[in-house]
Structures are given as C-alpha cells and as structure tokens.
Amino acid sequence: MRAKYLGRSDGALTLVLRKLGSLTLDERKKIGPVAQALKEKLEQLCDAQETQLLGLGGSVVDATLPSLAPETGHLHPVTLVRWQLEDLFTRMGFVIVDGPEVESEWYNFDALNMPSWHPARDMQDTFYTEVQSSKFKVQSDEVAAQRLVLRTQTSPVQIRAMEKYGVPLRCIVPGRVYRNEATDARHENTFWQIEGLMIDRDISLAHLISISKIFLRDLLGERIGIRVRPGYFPFTEPSIEMDITCQLCADQRRSSSRFAGPKSQTRLPKPVTGNGNIHGDKDAQFMYGVFSKDGYGGQVNADVKCPVCKGMGWLEFMGAGLMHPFVLKSGGVDPKKYSGFAFGFGLTRLAMMKYGIGDIRMMMSGNLRFLEQF
C-alpha cells in the first residue's frame, strides 16, 4: 500500500502532489490540502500496520522460510565405542554382564585376593560410604570388609558372574568405576572400564592375546601395535600389561626422519624378542613380543611432541592375566578343572584414542560444543 500510493517515483498520491505546481491557484487551493491530508492519513495507517506486523520480536515473520531443523540427540563417544565392542564380543560368544557401582569391599577387593592389608589396595583408593552392609559375606571377622565402596574396577563382576552363571563362561562387563584421583588430562575420578573373562578347560595367555588383537584391530584398525609386558595384579597369575601404539601421534611418528620402521604397511615385522631398549623400562627385557604393523620399536622419538604418550609411542592400555586360583575359588569354580583369562581396560581412554581426544576431562564435561562432534 505504501509503495502503491506513496512510492517516491510512481506512487499514485505522490504523482498528484507532484503535479500541484502545474495547476492554477484555485485548483491548488482545492486539491492541495485534501491530498496532503490524505498522505498523512495513509502514512499513519501504514505505520500502524507495520508496527503490528513487526510484533514483539521486532522482526517480520516470514511464513515462507523453511523451519529450523529439530535438534536430534546423539551418542556419547564412550557409548559409541562400548556398543561397537559389545557387538564384536557378542559375535564371539561373550555375554554382557552388569554389576553394581556401589559395591561391597568383599567383591571389590577381598574376593579378588586383595585383603585389607594388601599394598595393591593403595593404588585404588576410592570413595567409602558410611553404610555397613551385612548382606555380603566377609573374608575375616574384620568389620572393614563390610563397608560399601564405589567400585574401583569392573573386576568384582568376575566373582558375581561366576556365581550367577557358573562355568564355562565368556563375558564382558562394561561399567563405570570410581577412584579417588587428582584429575588431569589422563586421570578422572569417574571413568568407564570393560572387563573380560573367558573360563573353560585349558584357557591360556594365547587365547587372551589373540582375542585382544581381534578387538583392538576391529576398533582401531589393522595398523595398531600391541606390546605385552609382565605386570602384577593380586587376582591374576601370571599377570601382564598390554600397551598399544599411540594413535594420537601415529602419523607424526611415521613421517619423522627418526622413524626406524618400514614406511609401507604391507608386511608385519617379526616380533621383537628380548628387546631391552624400551624407554628405560627395566621390565622391557622380559617383553616377549611386539605385534606391530607400525614397525615401531618403542624408543622415545624426540621429534614427536605428543601430549598423551610424550613421544614414547606406547600407551598403557590394559591389565590382564590368567585368573588366580583364589579368585576362581571365590566364585565357586574349581581351579583344578578350569582356567581362565581376565582382562580389564579403560573404555574412556580407548574412546580417546579412537577419536583423538587429548583430555579425559572433556568426556565428563557435558560440553555440547565438544559432544556435538560425534
């Protein structure tokens, strides 16, 4: 309406007003005031209409614009990795077992061959509740063994699974665990682990290592390197620790001039045995194999500035071993007939590896700008 009647160049009323000058005085006196009044009236009406359309939000609603896409939810990186592993392990005949996050000291420690005086408990300081539970059996008369704690590991479910399902048994236990930790880029007080168990006749470390290779390659790709070192856990005997090649700086390492391994990834290098040269780790001389398509020997590479592995190329990945006879007995299994392997690793840390996340604190931050990337 404004353009039609009041438009600067060809508005109907504008043209009338422009013509006034060419009229006689009489005509001007007659038409002039009427046209002027009409112009003011029209402007008022247009202004009022415009204010109404602009509404409270101050912008014109354009009903022809496409609507905003609704925000859809998505899975947390830890959940994505957990589901992928659950899928893979289920296909290999493992069942998925759950356990309580508030656990009795018996299941979390004592039943796993870690009585209250055991030094290994120091490494898993946790949050103790004031609740005493008489529901759980205790190893000795100690009252302490009846306290409830936030579980420090998924290992207590080893015992629960044996009690519930008996043997033979193949299961994995994904779950949240808690430790009284000072937090930094690699440590959190709350994180996820996955426990794995395979109990049957004649289960050996060979089963453990091949199952580990299968799931690590499925998750992180064929190029992942695996290193096995001796370790210590009260609930496994022998115990091992498994390291994987750092995925955050893998490309950087490979393109470095100090990189000693093969640049092409076509052949698997021979396992290195008796290598005593692993970043000053005295255990390394006992290391019995490097299963790495990376061809990476484990020396610190000064060219690589990696915040996670500090240029070492290796990351501690999981603890494992053959189940201690005491543990089998705690779960009601005869260690003379059955053997089993157990492993436990940090699922949160694995998700960090997979997605190249440098700081574990991001995982719990609830920061949408971080989470929306997955």
153 binds ligand PHE (CB under 6 A): yes
Q: Kindly report each contact of residues 45-49 with a partner whose C-beta sits within 8 Å and lies 24 or more positions away, as own/partner.
A: 45/1, 46/1, 46/2, 46/6, 49/1
Distance CA 5, CA 39 (A): 8
One residue of 77, 319, 331, 340 binding ligand PHE per CB under 6 A: 319
Shorter beta-carbon distance to ligand PHE: residue 124 or 301:
124
CA distances from 358 to 87, 187, 231, 246 (A): 26, 12, 26, 11
Give least dist CB 174 to ligand PHE, A.
Answer: 13
Distance CA 89, CA 219 (A): 12
Shorter beta-carbon distance to ligand PHE: residue 77 or 344:
344
Residue 297's SS3 state is coil
Q: Is the dihedral of CA 353, 357, 363, 369 positive or negative?
A: negative
Shorter beta-carbon distance to ligand PHE: residue 147 or 324:
324
Distance CA 66, CA 64 (A): 6
244 binds ligand PHE (CB under 6 A): no
Q: Is the dihedral of CA 101, 105, 106, 108 positive or negative?
A: positive
Nearest to 225 by CA among 235, 234, 233, 216: 216
R_g over Cα of the chain: 35
Sheet holding 128-132, edge to edge: 102-104, 147-150, 128-132
Give least dist CB 236 to ligand PHE, A.
Answer: 5
Residue showing the smallest CB distance to ligand PHE in the complex:
344
Give least dist CB 200 to ligand PHE, A.
Answer: 17
321 binds ligand PHE (CB under 6 A): yes
Interface pattern 176-215 for ligand PHE (x via CB under 6 A):
-------------------x--------------------
Give least dist CB 109 to ligand PHE, A.
Answer: 11
Nearest to 10 by CA among 19, 34, 23: 19
Give least dist CB 137 to ligand PHE, A.
Answer: 21
Shorter beta-carbon distance to ligand PHE: residue 105 or 195:
195
Give least dist CB 343 to ligand PHE, A.
Answer: 5
Give least dist CB 270 to ligand PHE, A.
Answer: 28
One residue of 191, 192, 296, 343 binding ligand PHE per CB under 6 A: 343
Is the distance from CB of 328 to CB of 199 less than 8 angstroms? yes
Give least dist CB 341 to ligand PHE, A.
Answer: 8
350 binds ligand PHE (CB under 6 A): no
- Only segment of 73-81, 87-95, 125-133, 315-323 that touches ligand PHE (CB under 6 A): 315-323
Is the distance from CB of 99 to CB of 156 less than 8 angstroms? yes
Shorter beta-carbon distance to ligand PHE: residue 114 or 306:
114
- Tokens linked to 11: 């508005």
Number of residues that bind ligand PHE (CB under 6 A): 11
- Only segment of 128-136, 138-146, 215-223, 314-322 that touches ligand PHE (CB under 6 A): 314-322
One residue of 208, 216, 320, 333 binding ligand PHE per CB under 6 A: 320
155 binds ligand PHE (CB under 6 A): yes
Distance CA 323, CA 169 (A): 13
Give least dist CB 223 to ligand PHE, A.
Answer: 25
Distance CA 103, CA 352 (A): 27
Task: List residues near ligand PHE by CB under 6 A.
Answer: 153, 155, 195, 233, 236, 319-321, 342-344
